[in-house]
Amino acid sequence: MTIQLTPRAASLLPKWAVIDNVPEGIKTLAAYAAKRPGLEYRDYCQGYGDTEGRAAYFREARAISDQLADVREAIAAAYAQGVTDADLIECSKGDRLTLGEDLSIDYTVGQYWPTEYRAAVARLAAYAARVAKNRTRAALGVAA
């Protein structure tokens, strides 16, 4: 299965990575994190003069955009540590964001999907990077 990356998803991969060499699981995570959050302005504001609602909307939009930096950092760490598709599938078991054997993503929403899906991607990639790093250290006989 070949993942077609949008420009936004490709921007989440490390600049030094050759896209053809990036594991499909990492590409899948990048594509999922690159989705637009779909915040609805009317869920926050009741009318033209609702300054508190407007402030809340832009505060959440900014926080969601900031999560892309966390995703970018976690994906770079996962790629640098040599995380494989099997690592991602194994590390995702029992979490809200799970990868199937075919690298399909199943996400269980907690409170509000737009504010949490990118954090879940970053959490999974960072965890898989730690697992791969510990595996490498164990293979080299270095203490964790």
Provide the residue-wise pLDDT of the chain in tens; the chain has 144 residues.
Answer: 678 899 999 999 999 888 889 999 999 999 999 999 988 888 888 888 889 999 999 999 999 999 999 999 999 999 999 999 999 999 999 889 999 999 999 999 888 889 899 999 999 999 999 999 999 888 888 775
pLDDT for position 1: 62
pLDDT for position 110: 86
| This prediction's pTM | 0.89
Cα–Cα distances (Å) from 17 to 10, 11, 69, 78, 129, in that order, read 10, 11, 17, 12, 16
Q: Report yes or no: 127 and 75 within 8 Å, Cβ to Cβ.
A: no
Q: Exposed (0-12), middle (13-18) or buried (19+): which is 59, by Cβ within 10 Å?
A: exposed
pLDDT for position 19: 86
pLDDT for position 144: 55
The amino acid at 63: A
